[in-house]
């Protein structure tokens, strides 16, 4: 199929399409049993469950299974986890869509969960690395050990992004999120949870997305950047997506680009010549939080709610990850 034909086809309905039934999340805070009251499927459906996670022991495999059973899923429900750094839950959605398209499942659940306060330092950046790798002569290999904040500083220095520009962007994110919250725009994506009074360090995020046959198939296309400036990834990946899907920038109604750092967001918006009013119109991770394993799914939930509210046909989710 030609690129132009693909562009036309993504807006045409087909019996083999994959649709999102519901996209909901707990508030990005400590949560026990997520509220599935608005997303629960009929008892006859037994979805496969795939959860993105970055930092937990064993990739959340055991505690995730425990949580699934505790929520009331039957023991026959299959469960597994995936780690693709900050895009883990977005990859979970992609995998489940592919599985449905391949006929493995009729319905599937994808989501993400993360605790950003349990030994994040040692899990966010490995300390026990092979001496031969640590001493590698390949700069790109050793740059993989750079702290994320350090790569953000390099983006700012390399592309001339000022502190004032970053502060202005951060303020805008918080302002938009506050306006959206007060207007009730998050009501359709945030579900109520029962929680104990948390300490200052108890913050966890959970998000789930159901997918079933119908809607456009997700077609993978990737574009990479240097490890020492990983934050600029969206500026490279989004144009590649346009080309693959046969669409133009002005066809896209809303963008959800993860705000890992203000510097990389300022760069990406500038490099892509994006309309700032289309980018994270309800605030982003700077205001809402960035639980790494859950962020991609949170972005999808926010994007779908905004697309429905504003009657947009096309939206883009992107983030930096390495």
Residue pLDDT, tens place only, 39-63: 555 544 567 899 998 887 776 778 7
Provide the pLDDT for residue 285.
94
Helices (H) and strands (E) in the chain, counts: 12, 7
Return the top range by mean pLDDT from 44-53, 151-160, 184-193.
151-160
Please state the rounded mean pLDDT for residues 135-154.
86
**Mean pLDDT taken over the chain:** 80
Choose between 199 and 166: higher pLDDT.
Answer: 166
pLDDT digits (tens, 9 = 90+) for 255-295: 999 999 999 999 999 999 999 999 999 999 999 988 888 89
- Model pLDDT for residues 189-244, shown as the tens digit of each residue: 877 666 555 444 444 444 444 444 444 444 444 455 666 677 889 999 999 999 98
Among 98, 273, 312, 320, which one carries the catalytic annotation?
A: 320
The pLDDT value recorded for residue 141 is 87
Q: Annotated catalytic, 320?
A: yes
Query: Is 144 designated active site?
Result: no
- The average pLDDT across 73-101 equals 90
**What is the per-residue pLDDT for 77?**
86
> How far apart are alpha carbons 316 and 223 in whole angstroms?
15
Query: What are the residue ranges spanned by the domains of the chain?
Result: 3-117+149-318
Is residue 55 within 8 Å of residue 292, measured between CB atoms? yes
Beta bridge partners of 51: 81, 111
Residue 76 confidence (pLDDT) = 85
Q: What is the pLDDT of residue 218?
A: 41
Report the candidate in 313, 303, 263, 244 with the shortest Cα–Cα distance to residue 279: 303
Confidence of residue 145 (pLDDT cuts 50, 70, 90): confident
| Mean pLDDT (whole number) for 90-105 | 91
Q: Which of 51, 24, 22, 309 is nearest to 191 (CA)?
A: 24
Which backbone phi and psi does 62 adopt, to 5 degrees?
Answer: -80, -50
221/272 Cα distance (integer angstroms):
18
Q: Alpha-carbon distance 21 to 237, whole Å?
A: 27
Q: pLDDT value at position 115?
A: 82
Which pLDDT value is given to residue 224? 58
Q: What was the pLDDT predicted at 122?
A: 62
Instruction: Say which residue, 86 or 119, is predicted with more confidence.
Output: 86
Angle between helices 148-158 and 262-272 (to 10 degrees): 40
% of the chain at pLDDT higher than 70:
74
* Main-chain phi, psi angles of 108, to 5 degrees: -150, 155
Question: What 3-state DSSP class applies to 318?
Answer: strand
Residue 235 near residue 161, CB atoms below 8 Å: no
Angle at 148 between CA 147 and CA 151, to 5 degrees: 95
Residue 24, pLDDT > 70, answer no
Give the pLDDT band (50/70/90) at residue 316. Answer: very high
86 catalytic per annotation: yes
pLDDT above 90 as % of the chain = 39
Q: Which fold has domain 3-117+149-318?
A: Peroxisomal Thiolase; Chain A, domain 1 (3.40.47)
Instruction: Single out the catalytic residue among 71, 80, 86, 95.
Output: 86
pTM above 0.85, yes or no: no
pLDDT at 32: 42
């Amino acid at each position: 199929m030609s690129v132009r034909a693909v562009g036309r086809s993504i807006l045409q309905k087909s019996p083999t399409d994959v649709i999102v039934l519901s996209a909901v999340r707990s508030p990005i805070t400590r949560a026990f049993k997520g509220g599935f009251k608005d997303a629960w499927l009929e008892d006859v459906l037994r979805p496969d469950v795939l959860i993105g996670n970055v930092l937990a022991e064993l990739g959340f495999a055991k505690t995730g299974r425990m949580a699934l059973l505790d929520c009331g899923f039957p023991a026959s429900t299959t469960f597994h986890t995936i780690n693709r750094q900050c895009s883990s839950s977005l990859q979970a959605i992609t995998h489940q869509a592919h599985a449905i398209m391949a006929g493995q499942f009729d319905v599937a659940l994808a989501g993400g969960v993360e605790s950003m306060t349990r030994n994040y330092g040692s899990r966010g950046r490995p300390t026990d690395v092979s001496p031969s790798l640590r001493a590698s002569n390949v700069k790109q290999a050793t740059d993989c050990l750079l702290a994320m904040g350090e790569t953000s500083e390099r983006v700012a220095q390399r592309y001339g992004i000022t502190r004032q520009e970053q502060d202005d962007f951060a303020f805008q994110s918080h302002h938009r999120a506050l306006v959206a919250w007060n207007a009730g725009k998050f009501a359709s994506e945030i579900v109520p949870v029962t929680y104990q009074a948390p300490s200052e360090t108890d913050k966890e995020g959970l998000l789930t997305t159901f997918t079933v046959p119908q809607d456009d198939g997700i077609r993978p296309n990737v574009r990479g950047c240097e490890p020492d400036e990983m934050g600029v990834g969206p500026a490279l990946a989004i144009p590649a997506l346009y080309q693959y899907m046969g669409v133009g920038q002005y066809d896209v109604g809303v963008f959800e680009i993860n705000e890992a750092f203000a510097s990389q967001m300022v760069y990406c918006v500038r490099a892509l010549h994006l309309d700032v009013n289309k980018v994270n119109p309800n605030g982003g991770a700077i205001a809402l939080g960035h639980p790494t394993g859950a962020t991609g799914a949170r972005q999808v939930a926010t994007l779908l709610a905004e697309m429905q509210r504003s009657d947009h046909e096309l939206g883009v989710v992107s983030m930096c990850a390495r």
